[in-house]
């Protein structure tokens, strides 16, 4: 039995093509994935991401808890509303999940974790609260009473469209720089996203999600499926948990070194393992020079040894196939490498791992 978000019937009413996405019945597209992708790059689109799990962390020991829990440093969160992208590691330094932490007050934070990892994440967090004997309460907000829906509205016109539908939110959100959140009545509105475009992620009481979805659609926001979400995040060079990293992969080998804060006395789970292992691989981009499509798990041959594609697809913005790949140290941006696609060695160029943002190619 697939799990359904609160917007399931809205997707079906819009003729979405539904797929089993990690146990969730989710829309992969509403017709054309490429048109949805382009709507977000050039105008505005919306995604149902209610399968992701908001987690409220409340209590006097919030900071002490989060400081040890994740590899990024919550001491960076000084202004109320500021968000931090972080990896939660196991003792071996592998990534249990990547998540966003929103700082609200010193006794109240909100975390949003991935759909497929939510149960494991919650169990891990609860175990750490007990182990460290901290005064923190962890409450998931995805299922049951008081659950939240999440709608991501993304694209250059996203903010204006959200204000059209939620005029009362304009004053509190128009000044939000990237990676902040504001609470307006029952709405939690964050200037975060997974597309490389401006926009908001709106958390709201689940019972209001369908009305909000339909109002946004009436205002001209295109419904977009998880297919477009994947090509948008791939172009933007954003990691996908389970593909680009997992519990066996160090954040240092997955392009997440920028989220790992090692340079203070602060201890966090996985720190000693990361210090001992150091960086073993580098996380880079590939553009296919021959015709074809790069995909996850394809082998990459370089003069410095073999690597592997972790995510690949066709880039609607570049009109070429692109990928994120874990490659041996020593490979340089600009190098030409070979990718094994169905037994043929096709040529690809190594790039920095970001291809398009804010409506344009950046490569």
Partner 1 sequence: MSNVLANLKYAASHEWMLLNADGSVTVGITDHAQEALGDLVFVELPEVGAHYDADKEIAVVESVKAAADVYAPIAGTVTEVNQAAADAPESVNQDAYSAWLFKMTPDNVADLDKMLDAAAYQAVADAA
Which residues of this protein are in contact with partner 1, per CB under 8 A? 17, 28-29, 32-34, 37, 227, 231, 291-293, 295, 313-314, 316, 321, 342
First to last CA, the chain: 43
Cα 18-23-29 angle, rounded to 5 deg? 20
Rounded to the nearest whole angstrom, what is the least distance from the CB of residue 345 to partner 1 in the complex? 15
Rounded to the nearest whole angstrom, what is the least distance from the CB of residue 291 to partner 1 in the complex? 7
Rounded distance between C-alpha atoms, residue 193 and residue 168, angstroms: 21
Rounded to the nearest whole angstrom, what is the least distance from the CB of residue 144 to partner 1 in the complex? 33
Rounded distance between C-alpha atoms, residue 10 and residue 7, angstroms: 5
Smaller CB separation from partner 1, 176 or 293 = 293
Among 340, 245, 241, residue whose Cα is nearest residue 286: 340
List of residues 6+ apart from 277 with CB closer than 8 A: 93, 250, 252
Smaller CB separation from partner 1, 18 or 53 = 18
Smaller CB separation from partner 1, 16 or 125 = 16
Smaller CB separation from partner 1, 34 or 273 = 34
Rounded to the nearest whole angstrom, what is the least distance from the CB of residue 227 to partner 1 in the complex? 6
Smaller CB separation from partner 1, 32 or 186 = 32
Smaller CB separation from partner 1, 34 or 64 = 34
Rounded to the nearest whole angstrom, what is the least distance from the CB of residue 232 to partner 1 in the complex? 11
Helices within the chain (DSSP H only): 8-13, 33-42, 62-69, 118-131, 158-165, 170-173, 206-218, 226-235, 271-277
* Under 8 Å between Cβ of 307 and 327: yes
Rounded distance between C-alpha atoms, residue 236 and residue 198, angstroms: 12
* Under 8 Å between Cβ of 268 and 86: no
Smaller CB separation from partner 1, 2 or 329 = 2
Smaller CB separation from partner 1, 62 or 322 = 322
Among 87, 123, 76, residue whose Cα is nearest residue 269: 87
Rounded to the nearest whole angstrom, what is the least distance from the CB of residue 331 to partner 1 in the complex? 25
Rounded distance between C-alpha atoms, residue 231 and residue 216, angstroms: 22
Rounded to the nearest whole angstrom, what is the least distance from the CB of residue 313 to partner 1 in the complex? 6
Rounded to the nearest whole angstrom, what is the least distance from the CB of residue 225 to partner 1 in the complex? 9
Q: Is the dihedral of CA 131, 261, 83, 209 positive or negative?
A: negative
Smaller CB separation from partner 1, 32 or 248 = 32
Rounded to the nearest whole angstrom, what is the least distance from the CB of residue 309 to partner 1 in the complex? 13
Rounded to the nearest 5 percent, the helix, strand and coil shares of the chain are 25, 35, 40
- Biggest CA–CA distance in the chain, Å, is 58
């Amino acid at each position: 039995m697939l799990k359904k978000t609160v917007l399931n019937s809205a997707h079906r009413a819009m003729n979405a093509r539904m797929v089993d996405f990690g146990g969730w019945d989710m829309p992969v597209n509403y017709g054309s994935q490429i048109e949805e992708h382009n709507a977000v790059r050039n105008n505005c689109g919306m995604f149902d991401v209610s399968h992701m799990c908001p987690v409220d962390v409340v209590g006097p020991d919030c900071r002490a808890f989060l400081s040890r829990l994740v590899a990024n440093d919550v001491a960076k969160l000084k202004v109320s509303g500021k968000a931090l992208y972080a990896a939660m590691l196991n003792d071996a330094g592998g990534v249990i999940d990547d998540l966003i932490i929103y700082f609200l007050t010193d006794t109240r934070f909100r975390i949003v974790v991935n759909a497929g990892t939510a149960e494991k994440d919650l169990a891990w967090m609860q175990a750490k609260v007990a182990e460290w004997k901290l005064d923190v309460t962890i409450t998931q907000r995805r299922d049951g009473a008081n659950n939240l829906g999440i709608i991501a509205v993304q694209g250059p016109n996203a903010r204006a469209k959200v204000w059209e539908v939620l005029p009362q939110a304009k004053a509190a959100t128009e000044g939000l720089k990237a990676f902040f959140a504001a609470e307006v009545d029952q709405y939690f509105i964050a200037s975060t996203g997974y597309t490389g475009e401006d926009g908001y992620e709106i958390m709201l009481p689940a019972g209001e999600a369908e009305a909000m979805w339909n109002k946004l659609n009436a205002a001209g926001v295109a419904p977009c499926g998880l297919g477009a979400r994947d090509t948008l995040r791939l172009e933007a060079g954003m990691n996908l948990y389970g593909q680009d990293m997992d519990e066996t992969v160090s954040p240092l080998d997955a392009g997440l070194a920028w989220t790992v804060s090692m340079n203070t006395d602060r201890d966090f789970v996985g720190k000693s393992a990361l210090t001992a292992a150091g960086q073993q691989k580098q996380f880079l981009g590939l553009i296919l020079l021959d015709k074809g499509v790069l995909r996850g798990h394809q082998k990459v041959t370089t003069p410095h040894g073999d690597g592997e594609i972790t995510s690949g697809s066709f880039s609607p913005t570049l009109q070429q196939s692109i990928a994120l790949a874990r490659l041996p140290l020593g490979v340089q941006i600009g190098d030409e490498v070979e990718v094994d696609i169905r037994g043929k060695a096709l040529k690809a160029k190594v790039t920095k791992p970001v291809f398009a943002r804010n409506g344009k190619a950046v490569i």
